Structure 1
Amino acid sequence: MKTLFILLLFINILFSSDQIQPLTESWAPYQIENKNGLSGISIDLIKEIQKRLGNKKEIKLFPWKRAYNITLRKKGYALFLTSKSKEREKLFKWIGPIASIKVRFFKNASRKDLDIKTLEDAKKVDSIIVEGDTITFDTLKMLGFKNLDINTLANNRLNKLLENKTDLLPADEVTFIYNLKQKDLDKKILPVKMEAFFESKLYIAFNKDTSDDIIKDWKSAFEEIKADGTYDKILERY
């Protein structure tokens, strides 16, 4: 009996050591932080995957840059939702796509002087405020933008746009408009005429040293969730 107990304890410790710690950022309607905890499309999805795999790790919410760097450097971590670029592809292991984004420029509604129809128009403004270490920042740099104002705090970026201390703010159309409506700012901040300059699918990114068996388990659980209709039910909630 004692030998059996020790064996079961060892198996439990081994299993726990393989449990992935999911990290994310606040990003409605995918990841919503409120007084009751975390909710949202991707939160519910990750929790469903965890339930099916027996993963009991509590999802942790951090600023994007911190969550990205932790997942990049430490085995046992996964970050969602994450765009997969050519630069990032070899840095992580991936599952998805989970969702997709369309990034376009937004401006203060009072700025009648800003008539942005092309990328060249956007390159001529004085300042575009953007978060560093994001796919949006990487894309704008690749496109040759020299007028980027890097700012890590979402509230600071929005406030600078509201106060006309920056000209443009690039953001995912769906999530940014959702947040503007929640703050009753959808009349003060508007998308420019130019359509989305970047479209991307979103994934779960795992530290590159994560075992292939773990990736296979997470992938299988995600595919089951899509196949049995659970994923569609999650979308319907939001």
Structure 2
Amino acid sequence: MALRVLLSLLLLFCLPLRAAELLLYTEEGPPLNFTRDGHLTGYAVELVQALQQRTGDQVRIELVPWSRGYALARDKANVGLFSMALIAEREGLFQWVGPFMLSHNRFYTRKGSSLRIESLDQAKGLRIALPRQWYTLQYLNAQGFRDIFTVSSALDMASLFSKGRTDVLIVSDISLPMLLAEVDMSPEDVEGQFSFLQHQSYLGFSLTTDPELVVRWQTALDDMKRDGSFGRIYQRWFSHLPMHESLMQTQPSPHE
């Protein structure tokens, strides 16, 4: 009996005491995070799963509309949201792990359209839809855009564009092909116009999440960048797109 108790205690102390149970929200946003045949996949999903293995934390990923995930990820401990642009307006609202992607946002019109957009001013007054809480919406509002129609998801935005209910589609270069495919369109059906914004993508944890957990995840990501596993995942998804040097930035290691 005493031996069994001793063995139980030894096993208890051998468990990773720092492991946490995390709930991470994401949206339907290919190729970073999306569903295929009923399963979550994507570059960012694969990266999060690799980080989970390295940290030992238990992770549940839920696919929700962006606006809902954004609201939920701000309030509770051990909750996060990806993939999220790190911009000044959000910087103090989350604890950040990244960067892991660089994107450029552009206005797209239908092929053959007479519209030509070479500045933000030329886009004002056009019919535009954007998901609620997208940084692009916040940015354009700050630039004086009015009456932008808000939707729940990027898919809803693309659907309105495909039906001719908006004049332009505003999306990142990396998301365009797969997003158009969701509404039976292709990059050949659109024309790129003015490129106006670039951003780096991060995983954002709520402010009530233990900062040590956030450091643990950032350290795991930095280690992946140093040992090459980060680059291998990137190449699997973006072999056509050279990695920008800014994505390899890391936090100084404790031994540096």
If the TM-score is normalised by the length of the shorter chain, which range does it land in? 0.7 to 0.9
Report the CA distance between 1:154 and its aligned residue. 3.1
Q: What is aligned with 1:38?
A: 40
Query: Residue 100 of structure 1 contacts residue 200 of structure 1 at CA under 8 Å; is this kept in 2?
Result: yes
What is the SS of the residue equivalent to 2:109? strand
Q: What are the equivalent positions in structure 2 for 1:87-102 lying under 5 Å apart?
A: 87-102=89-104
Q: What is aligned with 2:8?
A: 5
Report the CA distance between 1:9 and its aligned residue. 5.5
- The letter for the 1-side match of 2:168 is L
Find the aligned partners of 2:168 and 2:155 in 1 and give their Cα distance: 15
Structure 2 CA distance for partners of 1:156 and 1:25, relative to 1, 3 Å: closer
Aligned match of 1:104 in 93, 99, 106? 106
Structure 2 CA distance for partners of 1:4 and 1:212, relative to 1, 3 Å: farther
Find the aligned partners of 2:181 and 2:155 in 1 and give their Cα distance: 15
What is the SS of the residue equivalent to 1:58? strand
Q: What is aligned with 1:208?
A: 207
Report the CA distance between 1:53 and its aligned residue. 1.2
Find the aligned partners of 1:69 and 1:6 in 2 and give their Cα distance: 41
Structure 2 CA distance for partners of 1:72 and 1:52, relative to 1, 3 Å: same
Find the aligned partners of 2:59 and 2:6 in 1 and give their Cα distance: 28
Find the aligned partners of 2:56 and 2:211 in 1 and give their Cα distance: 18
Q: Deviations over 1:22-45 (max 9, x none)?
A: 221121111131126122211111
Structure 2 CA distance for partners of 1:7 and 1:208, relative to 1, 3 Å: farther
Q: What is aligned with 1:145?
A: 145
Find the aligned partners of 2:235 and 2:34 in 1 and give their Cα distance: 16
Find the aligned partners of 1:95 and 1:9 in 2 and give their Cα distance: 30
Aligned match of 1:49 in 37, 51, 54? 51
Find the aligned partners of 1:32 and 1:25 in 2 and give their Cα distance: 7
Q: What is aligned with 2:222?
A: 223
Structure 2 CA distance for partners of 1:101 and 1:33, relative to 1, 3 Å: same
Structure 2 CA distance for partners of 1:21 and 1:3, relative to 1, 3 Å: farther
Unaligned runs of 5+ in 1: none
Aligned match of 2:61 in 47, 59, 62? 59
Report the CA distance between 1:86 and its aligned residue. 1.6
Query: Residue 162 of structure 1 contacts residue 188 of structure 1 at CA under 8 Å; is this kept in 2?
Result: no
Find the aligned partners of 2:200 and 2:154 in 1 and give their Cα distance: 21
Q: What is aligned with 2:154?
A: 154
What is the SS of the residue equivalent to 2:24? strand
Structure 2 CA distance for partners of 1:206 and 1:12, relative to 1, 3 Å: same
Report the CA distance between 1:110 and its aligned residue. 4.2
Q: Deviations over 1:41-87 (max 9, x none)?
A: 11111111100111232322211111111111111111111111222
What is the SS of the residue equivalent to 1:171? strand
Report the CA distance between 1:162 and its aligned residue. 2.1
Q: What is aligned with 2:243?
A: none
What is the SS of the residue equivalent to 1:57? strand
- The letter for the 2-side match of 1:191 is G
Report the CA distance between 1:14 and its aligned residue. 6.0
| Aligned CA-pair RMSD | 2.3
Find the aligned partners of 2:232 and 2:33 in 1 and give their Cα distance: 16
Q: Percent identity?
A: 26
Find the aligned partners of 1:30 and 1:75 in 2 and give their Cα distance: 24
Query: Residue 151 of structure 1 contacts residue 157 of structure 1 at CA under 8 Å; is this kept in 2?
Result: yes
Q: What is aligned with 1:189?
A: 190
Q: TM-score, normalised by structure 1?
A: 0.88
Q: What is aligned with 2:254?
A: none
What is the SS of the residue equivalent to 1:48? helix
What is the SS of the residue equivalent to 1:30? coil
What is the SS of the residue equivalent to 2:59? coil
